[in-house]
């Protein structure tokens, strides 16, 4: 299947979402764009009042990361999830002791509309690279307005109480890694982290493709 996929990728003209060059046999992003995605551990973000390592990202929401996120989220370029997830996993410090990866969930109606959850695809790729399970531990309790259309305190109100742990879920001993595509104000990821903590989770780290302006 891999050989067939390589052949199809070589035969079908596909522009790289990052720069527009032809991909050929390359998957998701061209080697130049992929090589420019350097995972980094962030000490500062809206998710932490103290400057401590807590977040892995591939950089700000601009250039290649912005175009890749939009191609995955709105263009249906699902093969990007594997590439981006692999790069994110490479930046997760072993000392964090991550035992499971948890994706930020979409509301079922939004997932049916889109056809997939981009955070789940990213989380699956990260988990596979780390050699730990990807666990759908969270669910949305209600549909929310798109965060990108909200501002400031509106984002906090929009997602307040919108997440809870799945019934019967038990957090493993050790840390969890919460995965989403973009971190902006931290409202969504903060609400998810709170829901995991309420269900008994200990340390919760975060991984996102990009941080900064919303999509």
CA distance 23 to 9: 8
pLDDT attached to residue 26: 85
Minimum mean pLDDT among 3-17, 84-98, 110-124, 181-195: which range? 3-17
Q: Which residues are within 8 A (CB) of 161 and not within 5 positions of it... i.e. 6 or more apart?
A: 141, 142, 191
What element of type H or E holds 183? strand 175-183
User: Stretch 14-33: mean pLDDT, rounded?
Assistant: 89
pLDDT tens, position by position, 40-75: 999 999 999 999 999 999 999 999 999 999 999 998
pLDDT over 80 (residue 209): yes
CA distance 180 to 102: 9
pLDDT tens, position by position, 104-147: 998 888 888 888 999 999 999 999 999 999 999 998 886 655 54
| Residue pair 104/126 in contact by the 8 Å Cβ criterion | no
Secondary structure (DSSP) of 36-60: T---EEES-BTTBSS----EEES-B
pLDDT attached to residue 150: 47
CA distance 208 to 45: 12
CA distance 109 to 121: 17
CA distance 204 to 54: 8
| Residue pair 82/28 in contact by the 8 Å Cβ criterion | yes
């Amino acid at each position: 299947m891999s050989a067939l996929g390589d052949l199809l990728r070589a035969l079908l003209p596909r522009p790289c979402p990052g720069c527009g060059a032809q991909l050929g046999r390359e998957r998701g992003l061209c080697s130049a764009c992929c090589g420019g995605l350097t995972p980094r551990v962030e000490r500062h973000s809206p998710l932490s009042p103290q400057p401590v390592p807590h977040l892995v990202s591939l950089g700000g929401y601009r250039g290649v990361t912005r175009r890749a996120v939009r191609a995955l989220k709105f263009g249906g370029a699902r093969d990007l999830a594997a590439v981006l997830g692999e790069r994110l996993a490479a930046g997760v410090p072993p000392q964090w002791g991550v035992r499971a990866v948890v994706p930020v969930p979409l509301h079922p109606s939004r997932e049916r509309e889109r056809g997939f959850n981009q955070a789940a695809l990213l989380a699956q790729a990260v988990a596979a690279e780390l050699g730990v399970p990807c666990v759908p531990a969270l669910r949305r309790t209600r549909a929310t307005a798109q965060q990108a259309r909200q501002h400031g305190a509106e984002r906090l109100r929009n997602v307040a109480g919108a997440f809870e742990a799945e019934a019967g879920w038990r957090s493993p001993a050790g840390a969890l890694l919460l995965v989403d595509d973009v971190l902006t104000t931290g409202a969504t990821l903060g609400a998810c982290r709170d829901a995991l903590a309420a269900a008994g989770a200990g340390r919760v780290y975060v991984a996102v493709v990009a941080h900064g302006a919303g999509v």
